[in-house]
Amino acid sequence: MPVDLWTSPAFVDEARAWTAAHLGEGSLTGEWEQPHARAWSSAIRFGTTRGSVWFKVNGPGTRHESRLTRLMSELVPDLVPELLAADDARGWTLMRDAGPTLRSVRPPEELWGRWELLLPRYAEAQRVLSGHEHDVLAARVPDQRPSLLPGHLADTTARLAGTPVEDGGLSVEETHRLEAVAADHADWCAELAASGVVPSVNHDDLHSSNVCLPSGGDVDAARVIDWGDAVWSHPFATLLATLNSIAWHAGTEVTDPRVRRVRDAYLEVYADHGSATERERWVRLARRTGCVTKALSYVRAFEGEPRSAEAAEDWPVRAWLLETLDPAVAG
């Protein structure tokens, strides 16, 4: 398993040597920690004479993160931490520390205004990236634009239908329900494709632990990290994970007026597309069809891993696929 490799002394030594080679002799202080080691990635913080840096390694299903991070550092540098080095073949990146995460320094009740400022910045970056489809897809970011999602739903349903329930598969009833919703799902995807909102990079896991604040707490200088789940999709699909996380940590629902204000702040960047009513509908459709995208993110996360790795996470591929059936997901 990658976790066993990535937490081994030999690997940490290799990561340290690679980091030192890019920073220069005498740059490392000897201080380090490895707070994150999962099936899909691991991160190691190294202390340096100029502050901390982060080494990250991605598994095979999320290895596009290094290429995407390099591209974003060129196109939208104000959204991501400073990139110091990358090895695309191995899925390694080295980035300067961007400060503590939003979640670690502020309780949920203090984050509403910050989200209303942050999400428009993120949306503006999405609009920039939407003009670079060729480059993004060349970075091997998964293509999950609306027109492709019906096929993904059918393929994933068929695969899980042939897998025992106790091994993360679907029951006969669940399979039939997913097959029954497929026609509606295709219509929703067609409507999103016809919306005129151009596909872009969707972080797909944008929450308060993936946003870093500088020491002064200025949201305009915040940086977004952890792009391993990123896909090329309808940009509004980003609001599935983001609004769900904001609501959950605040102990409320996505229908809460405060969550709506965060959504509306994001949508203001797309005010030149449709009416407010149409944009809100596209959010609902993008959230519901985005459940397939989330399911596929876990397929990639566990690529090459034994089934026990997914079992330990309570079968998220199946769980997200079944969310497609729930109208409440749309918000």
Choose one of 68, 96, 124: the last residue of a domain. 96
Q: What are phi and psi of 96, to 5 degrees?
A: -70, 145
- Mean pLDDT score of the chain, rounded to an integer? 97
Confidence check: pLDDT of 51 > 90 = yes
- Give the CATH number, domain containing residue 154: 3.90.1200.10
pLDDT at position 1, please? 64
User: Whole-prediction pTM value?
Assistant: 0.95
Determine the Cα–Cα distance for residues 277 and 172; give it in Å rounded to an integer: 38
In a shared domain, residues 106 and 92: no
In a shared domain, residues 24 and 165: no
pLDDT at position 217, please? 77
Determine the Cα–Cα distance for residues 309 and 28; give it in Å rounded to an integer: 34
In a shared domain, residues 16 and 163: no
- Structural domain harbouring 213: 102-330
Section 258-268 average pLDDT: 99
pLDDT at position 277, please? 98
Share of the chain above pLDDT 70, in %: 100
In a shared domain, residues 151 and 70: no
Confidence check: pLDDT of 186 > 80 = yes
pLDDT at position 2, please? 87
- What does each C-alpha distance from 278 to 94, 148, 154, 265 come to in angstroms? 41, 22, 27, 15
In a shared domain, residues 187 and 280: yes
pLDDT at position 304, please? 92
For tokens 């005010």, name the residue.
271
pLDDT at position 49, please? 95
In a shared domain, residues 289 and 229: yes
Share of the chain above pLDDT 90, in %: 96
In a shared domain, residues 87 and 118: no
Choose one of 96, 115, 135: the last residue of a domain. 96
pLDDT at position 218, please? 86
In a shared domain, residues 69 and 151: no
Which DSSP string do the residues of 220-287 spell out, in sequence order? Answer: GG-EE---TT-EEE-GGGHHHHHHHHHHHHTTS-TTSHHHHHHHHHHHGGGTTSS-HHHHHHHHHHHH
Number of domains observed in the structure of the chain: 2
Dump pLDDT digits (tens) for 127-161.
999 999 999 999 999 999 999 999 999 999 999 99
In a shared domain, residues 27 and 128: no
Query: How confident is residue 173, by pLDDT bands cut at 50, 70 and 90?
Result: very high
In a shared domain, residues 163 and 80: no
Query: How confident is residue 287, by pLDDT bands cut at 50, 70 and 90?
Result: very high
Determine the Cα–Cα distance for residues 320 and 316; give it in Å rounded to an integer: 6
pLDDT at position 216, please? 73
In a shared domain, residues 29 and 170: no
Dump pLDDT digits (tens) for 206-259.
999 999 998 777 889 999 999 999 999 999 999 999 999 999 999 999 999 999
- Give the CATH number, domain containing residue 21: 3.30.200.20
Confidence check: pLDDT of 84 > 70 = yes
pLDDT at position 289, please? 99
Choose one of 80, 96, 112: the last residue of a domain. 96
In a shared domain, residues 195 and 156: yes
pLDDT at position 121, please? 98
